[in-house]
């Protein structure tokens, strides 16, 4: 059964609206500062509109940036620590399918007597976004 999908295109509308508000802000600030013999009440009104318009622009862009920062999911790099039970041999390799902690991997190439096994599996640091 088909399920209703959420709509798309919200950030485009906000960008257009922010652009319109920026134009309105610039126009009203121009009117407030450059009109000779302007009534002080009208001047305050123009400045208020300009402040509101610029606030909208700033808020909408900071909100969008936060949205972008969440970003897409990136799988972290997983590593396996291989150690020898007899000598000090230690190797860190990329995790391979089928690896698990305490899995025996055969004889040590360094001392040739000890068994190599996976001592730990981990991921380092937060995944890059």
Question: Minimal distance in Å, beta carbon 91 to another protein?
Answer: 16
Count, residues near another protein per rule CB under 8 A: 32
Instruction: Enter the tokens of residue 64.
Output: 């969008």
Give yes or no for residue 123 binding another protein (CB under 8 A): yes
Q: Which of residues 81-120 bind another protein (CB under 8 A)?
A: 95, 97-103, 120
- Please, are residues 95 and 122 in contact by the beta-carbon 8 Å criterion? no
Question: Which residue from 72, 89, 71, 92 is spatially nearest to 81, judged by alpha carbons?
Answer: 92
Give yes or no for residue 69 binding another protein (CB under 8 A): no
Among 40, 41, 73, 106, binds another protein (CB under 8 A): 73
Question: Minimal distance in Å, beta carbon 65 to another protein?
Answer: 14
Instruction: Enter the tokens of residue 13.
Output: 């509308």
Q: Give the relative orientation of helices 10-34 and 40-70 as an angle to the nearest 10 degrees.
A: 150
Q: Which of residues 23-52 bind another protein (CB under 8 A)?
A: 52
């Amino acid at each position: 059964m088909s399920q209703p999908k959420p709509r798309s295109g919200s950030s485009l509308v906000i960008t257009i609206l922010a652009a319109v508000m920026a134009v309105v802000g610039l126009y009203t600030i121009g009117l407030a500062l450059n009109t000779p013999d302007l009534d002080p009440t009208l001047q305050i009104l123009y400045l208020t509109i300009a402040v509101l318009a610029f606030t909208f622009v700033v808020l909408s862009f900071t909100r969008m940036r936060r949205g972008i920062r969440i970003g897409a999911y990136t799988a972290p790099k997983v590593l396996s620590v291989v150690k020898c039970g007899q000598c000090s041999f230690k190797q860190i390799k990329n995790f391979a399918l089928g690896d698990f902690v305490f899995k025996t991997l055969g004889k040590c190439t360094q001392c040739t007597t000890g068994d190599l096994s996976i001592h730990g599996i981990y991921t380092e640091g937060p995944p890059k976004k």
